């Protein structure tokens, strides 16, 4: 089912709303053709007042990427051209929309006004108007919308839904199979508010017809805005057949608040988890695993409960990620074992059959094939050779307060527990560092490095006498 986005998105400098244009364009719909070009106009100028945020609404993330990017990714699979309508000062939104055309709506006068700002980009084919805060519309639903519009005799197609709680969505008024009107909730009668078919706000029509209808929209309504839904009224007045494509509420959900963003996130996560399992990934407790839109999980990967994937993660076959691990911006090669309680930060590359164990953190580090760092370790800006074992409590001191420095460890080395490797430093192949060492100088191949204070002589009987003094002091209070 389809969710509708709230009105008020905006678009182009210097533009007041145009005067009504009397057109000589015939009212009959343009004959459809599958080969006709198609243009998507995405309205993305909403300030997101209900988000209580300085960030533009469409820049809020879903599954690790801005909601506008989700919509663009799907639209790029369907439409020949895309133009994004933004508001003044939304340079970050414009940058995200690149390389697609961008226009600015200087005055926020409603959704029809916003769409009109992009009319120079409509071209000669079909035009669909989408909303940046309806980011979950699939490519297939967009194709269905175009296919509906291109049926013989159909001049305008729209997306609609039957949500569980219609709330303040605009209602779609129908007669038989045809749509006759869209009424906004604020303007609806009690009888109209009882209609369960709701407007998703997405329309598709021939470019010339769309231009004309947008120019004819008026703002004589409760909000004093130019509603895109009134294009339906213009089309019906022209005797054009208007049809609705009904899609799911989860897919077409509008996002106007933090609460709605959380509901949409849950929906996206369900999609991503289902997709991963369909591709052969084992999610032991799916609802506890959080993925990003770009997470790549190969078949035969096993993900245990309570694992979080940030952006930019690729996991190859036969990897096991144990509970309470967090991965971001990293690659995990075939057969590796991660966690529990591991953290892989951006720039890390874990080699085939390598181990990253509990409370181990990697940052910008390459762990060679078969290498192991199993306990309580931080490796930053490091290159660790194949088959090297990094003991518990090892730290690469990579940051001097201004610059990051590299640590290089050769193949087959053994880094003793509680070793401190002060970068920049290079340890050759086959090196052993004594437990508790602070290594500040390069170590050649096959050498053993000691970097700790020598233990003083043992004091015979001192521990027993020390404990006796303590117990006596305790007894005396």
Q: Is 404 annotated as a binding residue?
A: no
Q: Is 132 annotated as a binding residue?
A: yes
Q: Is 133 annotated as a binding residue?
A: yes
| C-alpha dihedral sign at 61, 62, 67, 72 | positive
DSSP assignments along 231-263, one per residue: HHHHHHHTT-EEEEEE--TTTT----SHHHHHH
Cβ count within 10 A of residue 19: 7
Using alpha carbons only, give the angle 419, 424, 426 rounded to the nearest 5 degrees. 70
Using alpha carbons only, give the angle 226, 154, 143 rounded to the nearest 5 degrees. 85
Q: Catalytic residue among 113, 326, 355, 375, which?
A: 375
Q: Is 50 annotated as a binding residue?
A: no
Q: Is 381 annotated as a binding residue?
A: no
Q: What is the DSSP letter of 129?
A: E
- Alpha helices by DSSP H, 164-206: 190-193
Q: Is 221 annotated as a binding residue?
A: no
Q: Is 272 annotated as a binding residue?
A: no
Q: Which of 64, 70, 96, 62 is nearest to 327 (CA)?
A: 64
How far is it, in rounded angstroms, from Cα 151 to Cα 157?
Answer: 10
Q: Is 216 annotated as a binding residue?
A: no
Q: Is 474 annotated as a binding residue?
A: no
Q: Is 274 a catalytic residue?
A: no
Q: For residue 273, give the 3-state DSSP assignment.
A: helix
Q: Is 44 annotated as a binding residue?
A: yes
Residue 32: both structure tokens together: 């459809």
Contacts of 73 (CB under 8 A, 6+ apart): none
Q: Is 226 annotated as a binding residue?
A: no
Q: Is 345 annotated as a binding residue?
A: yes
Q: Is 248 annotated as a binding residue?
A: no
Which residues are known binding-site members?
43-46, 57, 105, 110-111, 131-133, 170, 184, 199, 256, 345, 363, 378, 389, 392, 398-399, 417, 435, 452
- Residues making up the binding site for acetyl-CoA: 392, 398-399, 417, 435, 452
Active-site residues: which are they? 375
Annotated binding site for Mg(2+): 133, 256
Q: Which residues are annotated as a binding site for UDP-N-acetyl-alpha-D-glucosamine?
A: 43-46, 57, 105, 110-111, 131-133, 170, 184, 199, 256, 345, 363, 378, 389
């Amino acid at each position: 089912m389809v969710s509708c986005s709230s009105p008020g998105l905006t678009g182009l400098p210097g533009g007041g709303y145009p005067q009504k244009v009397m057109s000589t364009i015939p009212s009959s719909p343009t004959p459809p053709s599958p080969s006709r070009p198609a243009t998507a106009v995405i309205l993305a100028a909403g300030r997101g007042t209900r988000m209580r945020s300085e960030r533009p609404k469409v820049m809020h993330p879903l599954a690790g990427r801005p909601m506008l990017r989700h919509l663009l990714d799907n639209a790029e699979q369907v439409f020949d051209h895309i133009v994004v309508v933004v508001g003044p000062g939304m340079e970050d939104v414009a940058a995200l929309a690149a390389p697609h055309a961008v226009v600015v709506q200087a005055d926020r006068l409603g959704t029809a006004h916003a769409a009109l700002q992009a009319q120079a980009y409509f071209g000669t084919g079909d035009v669909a108007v989408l909303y940046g805060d309806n980011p979950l519309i699939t490519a297939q639903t967009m194709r269905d919308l175009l296919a509906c519009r291109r049926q013989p005799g159909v001049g305008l197609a729209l997306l609609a839904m039957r949500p569980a709680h219609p709330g303040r969505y605009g209602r779609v008024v129908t007669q038989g199979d045809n749509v006759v009107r869209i009424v906004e909730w604020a303007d609806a009668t009690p009888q109209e508010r009882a209609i369960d078919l709701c407007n998703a706000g997405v329309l598709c029509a021939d470019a010339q017809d769309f231009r004309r209808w947008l120019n004819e929209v008026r703002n004589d309504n409760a909000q004093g805005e130019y509603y895109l839904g009134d294009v339906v009224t213009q089309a019906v007045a022209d005797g054009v057949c208007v049809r609705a494509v009904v899609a799911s509420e989860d897919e077409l959900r509008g996002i106007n608040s933090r609460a709605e963003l959380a509901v949409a996130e849950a929906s996206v996560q369900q999609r991503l988890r289902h997709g991963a399992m369909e591709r052969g990934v084992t999610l032991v407790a799916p609802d506890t695993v959080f993925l990003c839109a770009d997470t790549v999980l190969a078949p035969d990967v096993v993900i245990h409960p309570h694992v979080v994937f940030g952006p930019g993660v690729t996991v190859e076959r036969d990897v096991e990620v144990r509970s309470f691990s967090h991965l971001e911006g990293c690659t995990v090669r075939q057969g590796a074992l991660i966690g529990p309680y591991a953290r892989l930060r951006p720039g890390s590359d874990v080699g085939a059959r390598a181990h990253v164990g509990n409370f181990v953190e990697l940052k910008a580090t390459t762990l060679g094939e078969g290498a192991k760092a199993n306990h309580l370790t931080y490796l930053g800006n490091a290159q660790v050779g194949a088959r090297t074992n990094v003991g518990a409590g090892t730290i690469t001191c990579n940051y001097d307060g201004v610059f990051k420095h590299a640590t290089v460890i050769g193949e087959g080395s053994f880094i003793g527990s509680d070793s401190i490797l002060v970068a920049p430093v290079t340890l050759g192949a086959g090196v052993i560092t004594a437990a508790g060492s602070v290594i500040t100088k390069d170590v050649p191949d096959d050498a053993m490095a000691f970097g700790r204070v020598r233990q003083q002589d043992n004091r015979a009987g001192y521990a027993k006498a020390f404990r006796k003094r303590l117990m006596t002091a305790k007894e005396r209070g």
